[in-house]
Structures are given as structure tokens and as C-alpha cells.
Amino acid sequence: MGGQSLHIDIAIIGGGIAGLWTLNQLRARGYSAVLFEQEALGSYQTIGSQGMIHGGVKYALAGAWGGDSQAISSMPATWRRCLAGQGKVDLRGCEVLSEDFFLWSSASLQSRLSSLLASKLLNTEVRKVAAADYPAALQSARFRGQVYRLPDLVLHVPSLVDTLASRCRDAIFSIDWRQASLRREGRRAVLSLPQCTLMPEQLLLTAGAGNEALIAGLGSTEPAMQRRPLQQVLVRHEFEAPFFGHCMGSSASPRLTISSHRDRTGRPVWYLGGDLSTGAAEAAPAELIARARRELADLLPWLDFGTCQWATIRLDRAEPRQQGLLKPDRAFLGRLDGLDNARAAWPTKLTLAPDLADEVERQLDADGILPHHPQELTLLAGADRPPRATPYWDTLFQ
């Protein structure tokens, strides 16, 4: 390992949305901060996201609109400020796929949807859509349901990763754990690299599911992590009009969630989630694809998708451990036991990345860890730079 020491304010391990957003926000605040990624920026959970920046309407429909759930309600406005260059992180240049999301129901469930929205969402920005303004996928004389417009953004995730990385290009490095290691020196964590030994005032672990091994490697047991597996369906087809929507089902959560994307050849791809995939993590891909076919035929029978190709992806949603493996409602940041300068973080979902970075700032301020060291990274000049992860719709349809 390198014999020289490099003192820095913040070292971040993990180049997904959590690490990239936090890196941008801390550097804008004046901290000297660097980020290390083992594979590609945005790998796994981030690149596998549908890109929805939502404000918690799904929680309201499920009857779980509590204090913690409401922490998410401000997120679309926060992201919009950043997209306009007016927030804590500059997202100007990031591609927005849709400025809103639709919630629709079948005729048999339209009264239930109306009563739910009236009782739980009266003061929100949810608005009923006139038939003339329905998205193309629902413009059919055979559609007899209702449609509402939600104030939820949808972002092109590869563009989001590229935008965040471009703002801090000089502070993002590849890390090869065959040549690098995290270790303890007393009650402090240090990072040994081939070029030098990095001595951070604070180490932040933002590696998603990879946090589990990093925490254990430092001899800590807390914070504990849980995995909630998910399997989603992708279908490449020939229906050109984009569609972003939740279909209301018989349960409180969406029966089907659809987001539209395009592969590198320009072919449209729908990403299918919701109840379709939530409980299907262990299903055989062919079984889940067959179910997805039936859902589209039942909910949108008037659409001609042309030639279709189908695939599934299985992802582990990594989160802080909850009693009964419940889904956490806000970002999490917690100390590693036995260490004074290390914390692990999980945003729990893409939309909560700003909430996580704000929590990092709050805890740093509370501990009196302010910008101190210069952003002098000459010792890391020879390190490799990680690429950006390739979207699944460009790797699954070869």
C-alpha cells in the first residue's frame, strides 16, 4: 500500500444515487470529499430504478400517511428546484422523461379510487384528467375508468447518473478491493490504497447491498441491513407513445406500474412493476412474464404492441433492518458501532436521495465536522475512473 497519508474531510464508498448525490451536496458546501466505486456508477439498484420521483401518494392509498411517510411529500419539489439549478445539487442537463405520472382505474374500481382520493388526498396536487387529455395508451372508446394526474417526475436514470458524475469528475475513482482495504486504527476507519492511505474525518458507506460486507469487514455489526428482493418485467415492443402510470387494483398498492424508456436503438421499452412484481421475486422468469402478458391484455386490451421481447431482472432492495422486514419510509444514516468516524447510509428509494444528503449534513454539523482539509487529490491522480452502468434494457435485449 502507498506509504503517504492523505487527509480529507469525507470519503464515500459506493457510486449509486446515494453516494453521488451526497458527494455533490457536500462538495457544494465546501467539504473536501472523494467517492470510490468498485464497478460502475449507478450499478444494480440505481440503474434498475424506474426513475420515479414520487411524493408518497402510494403511501396515502395504502392508508399509511404518517409522519415519516410525509417526509417524502416534499421530494418532487426539491428535485424540481435542483433540475432548475436552484437547489443544493445542480441537476441542470438531466433528462426528464415525464413531468407527471398518471393513476388510472378500471370501470369496476373507479368509485373506490374516487373515494380514496377524496378522503386522503384532498389537499394535494392530484387532479382528475379530462378524457381529451388522457395519455395515448388510455385513449380508447373501450376505456371506462378514471384517470388522475400525479405531480410526480420521471427521470432518465442514466442521464441522472451522468449529470451527478460530471459535476464531480475529479473526485470520483475506481477501487479494486484486491489492492485496497478498509481497516481500523483504534476507533477510526482508514482506507488503504495502492497510492496512499486515506485518513477521512468521516467515512460514509453508500454501497447499497455492498454495505453489509463493508460493515462486517470493519468489525462492526451495526447498522444491520435487510434485503427486500424484487423481480420486475421489461418488454420491448412497437407501441411508440410513452406511458407513465399506476393502475389501481383491488389492494391499496398499485396493481401495475408502467414507465416508458428507449433502448440504444430507439426501440420503446416498458418497465413493469407494482403488485405484478412485488411478491414475485422468487418466481421463475417465464412464469412472471406470462403473468405480465395477462395483465397487459386485461388492462389495456385495445393496444397493439407489435413484436415483443420479454425479460426480467431481480434486484435486492438494500435497506436498514426493520422489524418484520417492513419498508422504511425515509432515508437512513447510522454510526458503525465501535468507530468514531464511520457511518452507513441507505436512501431506501431514489426519490429520497436529497433527504439522505440533508441528514448527512445534519449529523456532520451536530458532530462539529466542518469543511477543513483542502481538496488536494494529487496522490490519487493515477487512479482509474469508473464507467457509468449500462441500463438493463440495453443489456437484456441482445
Q: Could you report the per-residue pLDDT of 210-245, keeping only the tens digit for each?
A: 999 999 999 999 999 999 889 999 999 999 999 999
CATH of 101-154+228-316, one of 3.30.420, 3.30.9, 3.90.1690, 3.40.50: 3.30.9
For the chain, give the percent of residues with pLDDT over 90: 76
Q: Does the structure show a pLDDT above 70 at 94?
A: yes
CATH number for the domain running over 5-46+160-226+322-395: 3.50.50.60
Pairing of strands 172-174, 33-37: parallel
Q: Does the structure show a pLDDT above 90 at 127?
A: no
Burial of 193 (0-12, 13-18, 19+ CB in 10 A): buried
Give me the pLDDT at residue 68, please: 45
For the chain, give the percent of residues with pLDDT over 70: 89
Cell numbers for 336: 458503525
Global confidence as pTM = 0.93
Q: Does the structure show a pLDDT above 60 at 153?
A: yes
Q: Does the structure show a pLDDT above 90 at 4?
A: yes
Q: Is the separation of the CB atoms in 94 and 83 below 8 Å?
A: yes
Pairing of strands 197-205, 5-13: parallel
Weakest-pLDDT range from 2-6, 108-112, 127-131, 352-356: 108-112
Mean residue pLDDT of the chain comes to 90
Give me the pLDDT at residue 125, please: 72
State in Å, rounded, how far the first CA of the chain is from the last one: 41
Q: Does the structure show a pLDDT above 70 at 158?
A: yes
Give me the pLDDT at residue 67, please: 46
Give me the pLDDT at residue 79, please: 97
pLDDT band at 124 (very low <50, low <70, confident <90, very high): low
Cell numbers for 361: 449534513
Q: How many CB atoms lie within 10 A of CB 100?
A: 19
Give me the pLDDT at residue 111, please: 47
Gyration radius from the chain CA atoms:
22
The number of angstroms, rounded, from the C-alpha of 60 to the middle of its chain's C-alpha atoms is 20
Q: Is the separation of the CB atoms in 235 and 271 below 8 Å?
A: no
Give me the pLDDT at residue 326, please: 52
Averaged pLDDT for residues 76-86: 96
Q: How many CB atoms lie within 10 A of CB 299?
A: 20
Domain range annotation of the chain? 5-46+160-226+322-395, 101-154+228-316
pLDDT band at 3 (very low <50, low <70, confident <90, very high): confident
Answer with the residue of higher pLDDT: 316 or 250: 316
Answer with the residue of higher pLDDT: 305 or 317: 305
The number of angstroms, rounded, from the C-alpha of 7 to the middle of its chain's C-alpha atoms is 31
Q: Is the separation of the CB atoms in 54 and 79 below 8 Å?
A: no
